[in-house]
Amino acid sequence: MGETFDVAIIGAGVVGGAIARELSRYKITVALIEKEVDVSFGTSKANSGIIHAGFHSPPGSLKARLAVRGNRAFDLLAEELGFPFERRGELTVAFNDEEAEILRRLYYQGKQNKVQYMELIGKERAFQMEPNLNPDILQALYAPTAGIIGPYEYCFALVENAVENGVELILGEKVKEINPAKSARFYGEGFKIKTEKGLSINSRFIINAAGLYADEIASLVGLNDFRIFPRKGEEYLLDRRVGNLVHRVIFPVPTVKSKGMLVIPTVDGPVMVGPTADDVESKEDYGTTREGLKRVFEHAQKMIPGIRNKDVITSFAGLRPVATGNDFIIGTTKVKHFINAAGIQSPGLTASPAIAEMIRDILLHEGLKLEVKRDFNPIRKPIPRIRRLVEERDFRPVRELVRENPLYSRIVCRCENVTEAEVVDAIRRGHTTMDGIKFASRARTGRCQGGFCTARIIKILQRETGLPLEKITKKGPGSELVRGRLPKGVTV
């Protein structure tokens, strides 16, 4: 790549994606570099999908300020980018006087953070809102501004829209070296970024949004002033059949380390429980544990007794990037034009739109000229889904979709009622791994976990991309689905 980008963003999770989309409004050149083969494949893919109200973080912290600001941005973002978002509200429940005291503190903390419409409510009201709550609760803190979104859909939408507006997305390239540009001895006149595969990318500014690996990226320019510690969160997804046990996100009173283990309604319907919060040694420790499962369900059942672990259809673990100091690290560094957006743990998803604006302002302050593009297109159109229509027996719009696009008549994933039209759309939007297609279309997320549709998706993917089966992966090289053809090439 011969040209010099104005800005190179390293890391295409929700933070990098939100920054890329924000910067795509201006007449600058932006590269978004991701080590995985698809976006949102790191910490973002294991996010709980909650847009927090913002009362959890201490007043004055970046976390608090950006979460409250970010929260307010989501109505417009969801409308423009067409990802699912619902302001369902959060209910934090206290079981005794001690916990009720913490609720009051959270309430005042929220006030200081400028969270709007919070209320401390009694047991009766809490029950009216959530009839499946444990009858032993004493009090609850209700925060109606909280919401739920599809976290990877949000990330996909951000990046798609950024690319539509001119951002160059570079996938599957892990940054290995960052050198001063033009063989200068100092950073400042720009950077020459080299990837493991040998790609060279020049840019004037670098935004470090590398999540778990942000400390390693910073150290490539000699910055060793913070470290990222992985903190694991295990989540368990319940069968859709369990139904709407909760309408709002249900929290216990928080602990020092985390907001506690929650009962989370998802925008797709099924209920999720988790996450745990355990510091782990390795940035690759994505294993769920027997002990974690037990803990999650003990906590969840305390709040919603009707939850049972036999209804789990799948589980996963994500790693939060926790920085030294526990707050977000956002800002300029000793290296000129190298800007951090690091340590973005919870409420990072909520804060992401505000983080993007903050980075934009920093760039402006650092002398990057930002002139608005007249032809910026803020709209990203989602593909219509038939699942809810079929569930609600609203067949007329389904007929219309089928008439327009016959691929809507082919159900690929019968658990979640995902059609071939939706799978093809996911592939054409650039998601060419099994996990990418899963996140983008929801095929394989239901109770059979791909038993039925995996073979079908493989066929569609082969047809759409021309890839041989040996090259089809779950999540990039090293995760190929099969290990070659039959020795004799038997066909039946």
Partner 1 sequence: MKRFYDAVIIGAGPAGLAAALSLKRNGIEKILLVEREGYCGGVLTQCIHNGFGLHKFRKELTGPEYAERYIELVEKERIEILKKTIALDIIPLEEGLTLYLLSEEHGLPEVSARAVILAMGCRERNRGNLNIPGTRPEGIMTAGLAQKLVNIEGYMPGKEIVILGSGDIGLIMARRLTWEGARVKCVVELQPYPGGLMRNVVQCLNDFNIPLYLSHTVTRIMGNRRIEAVEISPTDETAGPKERGRFIESCDTLLLSVGLVPENELSLKAGVMLDPVTGGPVVDSNLMTSVPGIFACGNVLHVHDLVDYVSDEAERCGEKAALYIMGRLKKKREIPVRTGNMVRYVLPSRIDIAEPVHLSLRPIAPEENTHLLLKANGSVIYKKKYRKIMPGSMIRFEAKNIPEETESLEITFEGKTG
Between CA 465 and CA 9 the distance in angstroms is: 28
DSSP state of 6: E
β-strand partners of 250 = 91, 263
314 binds partner 1 (CB under 8 A): yes
57 binds partner 1 (CB under 8 A): no
Which residue type occupies 390? Answer: V
449 binds partner 1 (CB under 8 A): yes
Nearer to partner 1, 256 or 490 (CB): 490
Q: Within 13 A of 21's CA, how many CA atoms are on the CB side? A: 27
242 binds partner 1 (CB under 8 A): no
**Catalytic residue status for 299:** no
* Sole binder of partner 1 in the list 113, 139, 161, 315 (CB under 8 A): 315
476 binds partner 1 (CB under 8 A): yes
287 binds partner 1 (CB under 8 A): yes
* Sole binder of partner 1 in the list 326, 448, 467, 471 (CB under 8 A): 448
* Sole binder of partner 1 in the list 110, 454, 460, 461 (CB under 8 A): 454
492 binds partner 1 (CB under 8 A): yes
Nearer to partner 1, 365 or 483 (CB): 483
Contacting residues for 128 by C-beta, under 8 A, at least 6 apart: none
First to last CA, the chain: 48
Peptide bond into 468 cis (omega under 30): no
Q: Show contacts with partner 1 in window 76-135 (CB under 8 A).
A: none
Q: Where are the alpha helices (DSSP H) in 9-60?
A: 14-23
Asked if 352 contacts 18 with a C-beta cutoff of 8 angstroms, the reply is yes
Which residue type occupies 254? Answer: P
Nearer to partner 1, 55 or 408 (CB): 408
Between CA 330 and CA 297 the distance in angstroms is: 35
Q: How far is the CB of 479 from partner 1 (least distance, A)?
A: 4
Cα torsion through 203, 206, 209, 214, rounded to 10: 110
414 binds partner 1 (CB under 8 A): yes
Closest to 89 in 3D by CA, of 57, 130, 59:
130
- Only segment of 81-89, 109-117, 145-153, 441-449 that touches partner 1 (CB under 8 A): 441-449
466 binds partner 1 (CB under 8 A): no
Question: Active-site residue numbers?
Answer: 52
For partner 1, the binding residues (CB under 8 A) are: 237, 241, 284, 286-290, 292-293, 309, 312-316, 390, 393, 395, 398-399, 402-403, 406, 409-411, 414-415, 434, 447-452, 454-455, 458, 469-470, 473-492
